[in-house]
Amino acid sequence: MPELYDSCLPLTTLREEEQLFRDTVREFAETRIKPHVMEMDREGKLPRELIDDLFRLGVMGIEIPAIYGGAGANFLMAILAIEELARVDPSVAVCVDVQNTLVNNALVRWLNPEQKARFFPRLVRNAVGAYALSESASGSDAFAMQTQARLDGDSFVLNGRKMWITNGAEAELYLLFANADMTKGYKGITGFVVERDFPGFSVGKKEDTLGIRASSTCELILDDVRVPRENVVGEVGIGYKVAIETLDEGRIGIGAQMLGLAQGAFEAALAYAKERKQFGKAIAEFQAVQFQLAEMATEIEAARLMVYNTARLKESGASFVRQSAMTKYFCSQVGERVASQALEVFGGVGFTKDYPAEKFYRDAKIGKIYEGTSNIQLQTIARTFLGR
- Candidates 63, 170, 336, 371; catalytic one: 371
Question: Which positions ≥6 away from 168 have C-beta within 8 Å?
Answer: 130, 132, 203, 206, 216, 217, 218, 219, 220
How far apart CA 258 and CA 53 sit, in angstroms, is: 23
> How far is it, in rounded angstroms, from Cα 198 to Cα 184?
27
Amino acid at 384: T
Q: Contact, 159 vs 171, CB < 8 A?
A: no
371 is catalytic: yes
Q: What does the DSSP assignment read for 88-110?
A: H-HHHHHHHHIIIIIIIHHHHHH
Q: What are phi and psi of 92, to 5 degrees?
A: -65, -40
Q: How many CB atoms lie within 10 A of CB 379?
A: 14
Chain centre distance of CA 62: 14
d(CA 291, CA 283): 12
State the alpha helices, DSSP H only, in the chain: 16-28, 37-43, 48-57, 75-88, 90-97, 105-110, 113-125, 239-275, 287-316, 321-346, 357-364, 374-386
User: CA 365 to CA 213: how far, in whole Å?
Assistant: 12
Q: How far is CA 368 from CA 208, 219, 371, 376, in A?
A: 18, 21, 9, 10
What CA–CA distance (Å, rounded) separates 379 from 68?
39
| 3-state SS assignment for residue 176 | strand
- For residue 214, give the nearest of 343, 304, 56, 85 by alpha carbon: 85
DSSP string covering 306-353: HHHHHHHHHHHT---HHHHHHHHHHHHHHHHHHHHHHHHHHGGGGGST
DSSP lists the bridge partners of residue 221 as 161, 202
Residues with a catalytic annotation lie at: 371
